[in-house]
Amino acid sequence: MSTKDIHVVSRQNGEVVSKKVRAAPYEFTIATRAKWEMMVSDEDVEIRAGEYRKIKVKEVTLDPDTLAIPCAFTYHAVASVLKVGSKEGNCLVEKERHIRFAHILGQETGKVREGDLLGVLNIFPIMFTREAMKPVLIK
C-alpha cells in the first residue's frame, strides 16, 4: 500500500481549512442494487444560463458505507445538479453524512423555487475489498 502526504482543503463554517494527512488509495466493491434520493430545493433562486451556483437543498442523510452519484438525467427545466455537499466539509465514507446543498449549473435563465425537484441521487452501498487505511492527521 503506497501512502501519500496530501492537503485536504475544505470549507468549514464558511472558512477554508487545510489539513495535512497521510492517506492511501483503496479498493471497494459497489453494489448493483441501489436506491434513489430526491434533491429538493430549500430556497428560491434566480439563475442565468451558464451560471454556476450553490443552492440549499432539503437534507438528505447518507448512511455509512454508501456512495452518492448524481443521476445523469436532467430533472429541472432550468438547472442541472453537478455535485452535492454538506456543511461538515469533507467526510469519511465510513461515517453518516448530511447533504445540505447542491452545486447547480443554469441551463436556461429562470427560477428555481423552494420545493422544486432539482435531481436524483443514486445511493449505492459499498464494501471495502481489503482493510482500508484511515487518513492520519499530520501535525
**pLDDT score for 25:** 81
Flag whether the pTM goes above 0.85. no
**pLDDT score for 40:** 97
**pLDDT score for 131:** 67
**pLDDT score for 98:** 94
Eight-class DSSP state of 130: S
Contact 7, 90 (CB under 8 A): no
Distance (Å, whole) CA 137 – CA 35: 33
Distance (Å, whole) CA 7 – CA 23: 10
**pLDDT score for 124:** 95
Question: Tens digit of pLDDT per residue, the chain (139 long)?
Answer: 688 898 988 877 778 889 898 888 878 888 888 999 999 999 999 999 999 999 999 999 999 999 999 988 878 999 999 999 887 777 778 889 999 999 999 999 999 999 999 999 999 999 877 666 677 788 7
Q: Domain 29-128: give its CATH architecture.
A: Distorted Sandwich (2.70)
Distance (Å, whole) CA 36 – CA 9: 29
Three-state SS sequence of 33-74: CCEEEEEEECCCEEECCCCEEEEEEEEEEECCCEEEEECCCC
